[in-house]
């Protein structure tokens, strides 16, 4: 039986992003308290990395009363890819259930983590995805695209697109299955547009379903996430994502993924 206390939360960030402090504060208020935080920092300079270390030391005491383990995984910004930074964080995590998000996102409620983690009582669940909606200061186009045209439409129709709703902006995975199939760092070599937009999370969900596991959508797993983008920015992204998903679905499966972690493994420090 899954224990709700045995969850690692992985946060990928590029130094201290806009909502980073508030994100950690909200994590400290979760009804399902994580046993550890893994912070993967794609840092720009040694100075910014020192600032991050100092901040995490203060936050551990002020937000968590020292009752949580914090691991800092530093990755130089020039080595960054979405898939590599996620893989590095998952590798450093000590628990089998890992919740993944990033430093400019915010959980929508204090029950966010518990709602997602509860599904892992089912041993066939590989991952849990949720909704991503715009921040309150998001553009009107983000609000229409995320909140109305996507989230509300799915809720009304009850046609949950389970793999489409799986994103490392807001998801939980089972590490034991990640070990069998890490997020594919060579996916950009196979998929047009994947270098800019990712797609490794969608690929992971499709692969898990191919192997007979479940990807679950949890309506209470809602994360605020937006970038202040205009319609002229969002629409090309939407078209690119449709193309990426189509090409990923056409890959022959089951398949083998690639990660640099099979060679040199990034170090981390415990705060």
CATH code of the domain made up of 7-130+159-220+228-265? 3.90.550.10
Q: Where are the domains of the chain?
A: 7-130+159-220+228-265
Q: What pLDDT was estimated at residue 90?
A: 98
Q: Tens digits of per-residue pLDDT, 202-252?
A: 999 999 999 999 999 898 999 999 888 888 888 888 788 888 889 999 999
Q: How far apart are CA 43 and CA 80, in angstroms?
A: 9
What is the rounded end-to-end Cα distance, in angstroms, of the chain? 30
Cβ burial, residue 65 (10 Å; 0-12/13-18/19+) = exposed
Q: Tens digits of per-residue pLDDT, 135-173?
A: 988 888 887 776 665 555 555 555 444 555 689 999 999
Q: Tens digits of per-residue pLDDT, 93-108?
A: 999 999 999 999 999 9
What's the average model confidence in pLDDT over 11-23?
Answer: 96
**Nearby residues of 239 by Cβ (< 8 Å), 6 or more positions away:** none
C-alpha dihedral, 42 to 92 to 185 to 161, nearest 10° = -100
Query: Model-level pTM?
Result: 0.92
Q: What pLDDT was estimated at residue 161?
A: 47
Write down the residue that tokens 């056409």 correspond to. 250
pLDDT value at 31 more than 70: yes
Beta-ladder partners of 38 = 10, 71
Q: What pLDDT was estimated at residue 160?
A: 46
Summary mean pLDDT of the chain? 89
Q: What pLDDT was estimated at residue 46?
A: 96
Share of the chain above pLDDT 90, in %: 68
DSSP at 80: -
Q: What pLDDT was estimated at residue 239?
A: 83
């Amino acid at each position: 039986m899954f224990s709700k206390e045995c969850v690692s939360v992985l946060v990928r960030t590029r130094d201290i992003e806009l909502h980073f402090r508030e994100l950690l504060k909200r994590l400290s208020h979760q009804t399902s308290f994580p046993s550890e935080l893994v912070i993967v920092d794609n840092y720009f300079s040694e100075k910014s990395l020192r600032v991050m270390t100092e901040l995490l030391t203060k936050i551990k005491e002020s937000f968590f009363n020292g009752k949580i383990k914090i691991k800092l995984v530093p990755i130089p910004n020039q080595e960054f890819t979405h898939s590599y930074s996620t893989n590095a964080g998952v590798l450093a995590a000590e628990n089998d259930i890992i919740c993944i998000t990033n430093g400019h996102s915010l959980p929508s409620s204090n029950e966010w983590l518990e709602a997602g983690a509860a599904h892992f009582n089912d041993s066939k669940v590989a991952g849990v995805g949720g909704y991503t909606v715009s921040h309150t200061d998001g553009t009107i186009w983000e609000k229409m695209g995320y909140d109305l045209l996507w989230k509300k439409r799915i809720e009304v129709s009850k046609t949950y697109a389970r793999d489409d709703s799986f994103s490392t902006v807001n998801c939980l995975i089972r590490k034991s299955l990640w070990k069998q199939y890490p997020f594919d760092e060579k996916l950009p070599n196979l998929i047009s547009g994947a270098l800019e937009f990712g797609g490794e999370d969608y690929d992971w969900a499709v692969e898990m379903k191919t192997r007979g596991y479940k990807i679950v959508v949890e309506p209470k797993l809602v994360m605020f996430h937006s970038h202040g983008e205009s319609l002229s920015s969002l629409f090309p992204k939407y078209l690119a994502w449709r193309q990426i998903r189509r090409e990923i679905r056409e890959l022959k499966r089951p398949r083998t993924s690639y990660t640099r972690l099979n060679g040199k493994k990034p170090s981390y420090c415990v705060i």
